[in-house]
Structure 1
Amino acid sequence: MEFAGKRILIVGIARSGTAAAKVLVKRGALLTACDRKTGAELGESLQELAELGIEIYTGGYPPVSRKDYDMLIASPGVPLDIEPLKTARKVNLPIISELELAYLLKSSAVEMYAISGTNGKTTVVSLLQAILAHDGQMALAGGNIGIPLSTLVDGMSAGVIVVEASSFQLETTFRFRPRISALLNITPDHLDRHKTMQGYMEAKSKIFVRQNRDDYAVLNYEDAYIRKMAELCPARIVYFSTERVLKEGAFVRDDLIYFAFDQQAKTICSVDEVSLRGKHNLENILCAVAVAAIAGAKTESIRETLKTFAAVRHRIEEVGVVDGVLYVNDSKATNPESAIKALESFTEPIVLLAGGRSKGSDFYEFARFVNTKVKELVLLGEAREEIKKAVMEAGFKNIHEVNDFNTAVETARRLATAGDVVLLSPACASWDMFESYEHRGDLFCEIVSAMKKG
């Protein structure tokens, strides 16, 4: 698509908005950028945009009309019901995500393999990229993880980008068509934004709705929502399953991981050889195996990577042992279902740090797991009363409420004894106290590191 001379408003001055601005300036677009935050709050992001010489609005938004703009680009964290986007829809101005922009900008020799789902995306994207790179393929990872996609495609003439695609990014795509798509799982999440499960599923389904029979969709056979969504998928579907042997797809039989495709089944490795911890990671592994095999990766490359691949940052990341207590950073668990999977990964007594901003979640199933798996619960953040109510109704009483994160970690340290696990798995978003879940996890790691040094 040609962007020279196009009048474009970028809504949201953050990492993806800044990346979009940089690549569009190079292509001759006429840009304006805006953000509800003030200049002081935006800091370095604002400075980077100012150096591009584009018009900038801070602390609010400019008027939007067809005479002013040809297109709007919405950063992932920007709600679609804010004024400039509502007005744009009324006057039929296109609104796209940075994911869609990257797809429109990429070379035809660059393929995208897109991964989505409520939980596990980052692990699968990182593992898949590692497998493909080990196999000798030119493969990079981006999107909701690491480097913005528009930055990657700007410097890439050929190869593969493994895309972590969130529902926020997918809902404003209109041409995005990955060569291989994958959906890991669907559980209630981001209902504060999507309002209903149907709305959330519709956003997620955009990962495959524009594929065709020459493309592939790797889907979780055991997820009822995904099985329903598969009815709308035009691509060739390849399933994975942790519960049954499949005629075609990735599965486990007799503790061995298999991939069956085009009437040929290959043994990848035994489950015991895989380095990633936790039952939930078996789903992630099977998904990555299926996508990698479809992409032509050799069985040896897949096997060797599975044996050595370590957990990604902020997802059941073992930070260190202090006084015989293992500290684990699972800050990426921003919903109850993800936190439940973390709790299932340990047999040791758990001192759990939880709380933050709810995304419209139901905490009652999470509370049931807390009651059976957790020794002590340290609560903080906006949702702590909601979580407290749920866990108390489940019969759990060892609750400790705190007002700040440092106190939370110190309280957990005081409560834990040798052989315990102190687990940061908040079951909530971080935005009430932090810039991101990474910021929250990094602080946890820094505090633990300081403990180790005495």
Structure 2
Amino acid sequence: MLKYQGKRVLVMGMARSGLSSVQLLMDAGADLTVYDRKSPQELAEHMGSIPNRTRLITGEGVEIARGDFDLVVTSPGIPLDNPMMMTIQEAGIPIISEIELAFKFKPAELSLLAITGTNGKTTTTSLVAEIINSAGIPSVAAGNIGLPLSAAVQAEKEGIVSVECSSFQLEAIQEFHPLVSAIINITPDHLDRHKTMENYARIKSRIFMNQTLGEYTILNGDDPLIRQMTPPCKVCYFSFRTTLEQGVWIENEDIMVRLDESPPQRVCRVSEVRLRGRHNLENVLCAVGLTRAAGIEPFLIRETLIRFEGVKHRLEDIRTVNGVLYVNDSKGTNPESTIKAMESFSDPIILIAGGSHKNSDFSEMAKVIARRVKVLVLLGETRSIIREAAEKVGFRDITEASSLEEAVALAKERADAGDVVLLSPACASYDMFRDYEERGEYFRKIVWSLGEDRI
């Protein structure tokens, strides 16, 4: 891309999105510098991915002055109020996120369906990509889901990319413009970074800020914060509580959809949907709205809904040992997500929870624990905070572990046939693991190492 030829670009962070941005910009002829606060030794596994002519800066900070760079591509893990980011902004250097960079390189024949929300993003993003592929249109799931969008726009020349967008990524977009966007829900999360719910919701709403009158955003009509939003484009609401005149809704246990002035169309019976849990209906209705707005016919949407089982680390059945089902919900990184996970089971639950703190309020989660949980096993930075919340509502069967191995062992001791051992931490993983995926994979490994008891 000629506009980046010779441009001095600083890429912040050497995680997946950073490395993918480096490749995109290198191919475009940019003059690249890469920064990461980790040491060269800690970054050893990534060093081979950095082209030889790229400058690398490591350590706790970098001095940046006006005129040093033409553009900064930031990692979603670096807050915009970080001192180094503040210095960059004061120097008048534009800052964009990796999804914004990817949008600038997107082929004209490649469309984006962009999805955000507090919970359900990964499930919805994956489901949308599956529906589109089943309809015969090339599609991948990308963004915050694992495959960077900048990698997807390099690999895919046409079709539709289903893009999971986090609030951290949406903070630094400028022209990012999906064909269809969606906000699944907004509940308290990341308030350590965004400070208030109003600010958090405002950042989420950036997903549709560049859309035009003829395009759709798909919004949760049951969410009061989302209902207050005023998009610049057409709105398709979805609801599993209310029958709608237009949008996506449930009527007599049928999933219905209607856009514009077309007649209502039946997609399928609720009972046909393969995904476990009432909360997943929110994700399903959102996916129906997204794909229908993209032109996919209801009968093709149904074909995927009746076979799609979900994604890794989200209510993922690992195995049954001695009649006890072990479930990996490592992606449950906030209280609301863990509440939904607990409400997906009617059997007694041994809940493994806790992790790094995001200033979450665990009081509502504690009430559900008191109703649904048989034994609570806590670990990580937040174990004392969650314990206090649970004890306030009278729940006492609580034990603490110093590691995930110990937590699983304690859960196994207390579980009886017919119980569910559920890892749903309600917290981030950074106090013990690199990310929720590493935590989930480690849980899977521990569970598969468990032996059956001999009788």
Q: What is residue 68 of structure 1 aligned with on the other side?
A: 68
Q: Deviations over 1:222-271 (max 9, x none)?
A: 00000012x2x001000100001111111101111111122311111111
1:86 maps onto 2:86 in alignment: yes
1:203 maps onto 2:168 in alignment: no
Amino acid in structure 2 at the alignment position of 1:338: S
Residues 453 and 148 of structure 1: CA distance in aligned 2, closer, same or farther (over 3 Å): farther
Alignment partner of 2:235: what SS? strand
Residues 109 and 452 of structure 1: CA distance in aligned 2, closer, same or farther (over 3 Å): farther
**Root-mean-square deviation over aligned CA pairs:** 1.2
Q: What is residue 258 of structure 2 aligned with on the other side?
A: 260
CA contact (8 A) 1:167 1:200 kept: yes
Q: Deviations over 1:267-296 (max 9, x none)?
A: 111111110010110010000011111111
Distance 1:115 1:432 in 2: 28
1:237 maps onto 2:219 in alignment: no
Alignment partner of 1:157: what SS? coil
Alignment partner of 1:250: what SS? strand
Tell me which moved more, 74-83 or 245-254.
Answer: 74-83
Q: How does 1:335-354 map to 2 (within 5 A)?
A: 335-354=334-353
What is the deviation of 1:61?
2.9
Distance 2:47 2:375 in 1: 43
What is the deviation of 1:128?
0.6
Runs of 4+ more than 4 Å apart: none
Q: What is residue 391 of structure 2 aligned with on the other side?
A: 392
CA contact (8 A) 1:25 1:52 kept: no
Amino acid in structure 1 at the alignment position of 2:212: N
Distance 1:47 1:40 in 2: 13
Q: What is residue 141 of structure 2 aligned with on the other side?
A: 141
Distance 2:47 2:405 in 1: 30
Distance 2:48 2:204 in 1: 34
Q: What is residue 425 of structure 1 aligned with on the other side?
A: 424
Distance 1:72 1:389 in 2: 43
Q: How does 1:165-176 map to 2 (within 5 A)?
A: 165-176=165-176
Q: What is residue 400 of structure 2 aligned with on the other side?
A: 401
CA contact (8 A) 1:13 1:34 kept: yes
Tell me which moved more, 192-201 or 179-188.
Answer: 192-201
Q: What is residue 305 of structure 1 aligned with on the other side?
A: 304
CA contact (8 A) 2:350 2:422 kept: yes
TM-score of the aligned structures, taking structure 1 as reference length: 0.97
Tell me which moved more, 173-182 or 37-46.
Answer: 37-46
Amino acid in structure 1 at the alignment position of 2:249: F
Residues 52 and 221 of structure 1: CA distance in aligned 2, closer, same or farther (over 3 Å): farther
Tell me which moved more, 238-247 or 296-305.
Answer: 296-305
Distance 1:298 1:215 in 2: 18
1:371 maps onto 2:370 in alignment: yes
Distance 2:399 2:52 in 1: 49
What is the deviation of 1:430?
0.4
Q: Deviations over 1:102-158 (max 9, x none)?
A: 011111211110000000000000001000000001111100012111011012221
1:37 maps onto 2:35 in alignment: no
What is the deviation of 1:452?
5.1
Q: What is residue 151 of structure 1 aligned with on the other side?
A: 151
Amino acid in structure 1 at the alignment position of 2:127: L
Q: What is residue 16 of structure 2 aligned with on the other side?
A: 15
Residues 88 and 274 of structure 1: CA distance in aligned 2, closer, same or farther (over 3 Å): same
Distance 1:42 1:419 in 2: 45
What is the deviation of 1:447?
0.8
CA contact (8 A) 2:326 2:420 kept: yes
CA contact (8 A) 1:213 1:236 kept: yes
Q: What is residue 55 of structure 1 aligned with on the other side?
A: 55
How many residue pairs get aligned? The number is: 451
Q: What is residue 358 of structure 2 aligned with on the other side?
A: 359
Amino acid in structure 1 at the alignment position of 2:16: R
Q: What is residue 27 of structure 1 aligned with on the other side?
A: 28
Q: What is residue 434 of structure 2 aligned with on the other side?
A: 435
Q: What is residue 333 of structure 2 aligned with on the other side?
A: 334
Q: What is residue 109 of structure 2 aligned with on the other side?
A: 109
CA contact (8 A) 2:322 2:452 kept: no
Q: What is residue 227 of structure 1 aligned with on the other side?
A: 227
Distance 2:52 2:164 in 1: 28
Distance 2:342 2:158 in 1: 41
Q: What is residue 3 of structure 1 aligned with on the other side?
A: 4
Q: Deviations over 1:2-37 (max 9, x none)?
A: 211110111111111011001100110011111111
CA contact (8 A) 2:321 2:452 kept: no
Q: Deviations over 1:297-325 (max 9, x none)?
A: 12221111100001110000011100100
Task: Name the % identity.
Answer: 47
CA contact (8 A) 2:350 2:419 kept: yes
Q: How does 1:171-186 map to 2 (within 5 A)?
A: 171-186=171-186
Distance 2:160 2:331 in 1: 25
Q: What is residue 160 of structure 2 aligned with on the other side?
A: 160
Q: What is residue 97 of structure 2 aligned with on the other side?
A: 97
What is the deviation of 1:453?
7.7
Q: Where do 5+ consecutive residues of structure 1 fail to align?
A: none
CA contact (8 A) 1:15 1:45 kept: no
Q: Where do 5+ consecutive residues of structure 2 fail to align?
A: none
What is the deviation of 1:52?
4.2
What is the deviation of 1:439?
0.4
Q: Deviations over 1:188-229 (max 9, x none)?
A: 110011111122112101101111102110000000000012
What is the deviation of 1:66?
2.5
Alignment partner of 1:206: what SS? helix
Residues 452 and 292 of structure 1: CA distance in aligned 2, closer, same or farther (over 3 Å): farther
CA contact (8 A) 1:10 1:34 kept: yes
Tell me which moved more, 171-180 or 292-301.
Answer: 292-301
Amino acid in structure 1 at the alignment position of 2:18: G
1:128 maps onto 2:128 in alignment: yes
What is the deviation of 1:53?
2.9
Q: What is residue 415 of structure 2 aligned with on the other side?
A: 416
Amino acid in structure 2 at the alignment position of 1:33: V
Distance 1:255 1:245 in 2: 11
Distance 1:136 1:48 in 2: 34
CA contact (8 A) 1:9 1:72 kept: yes
What is the deviation of 1:90?
0.8
What is the deviation of 1:342?
0.2
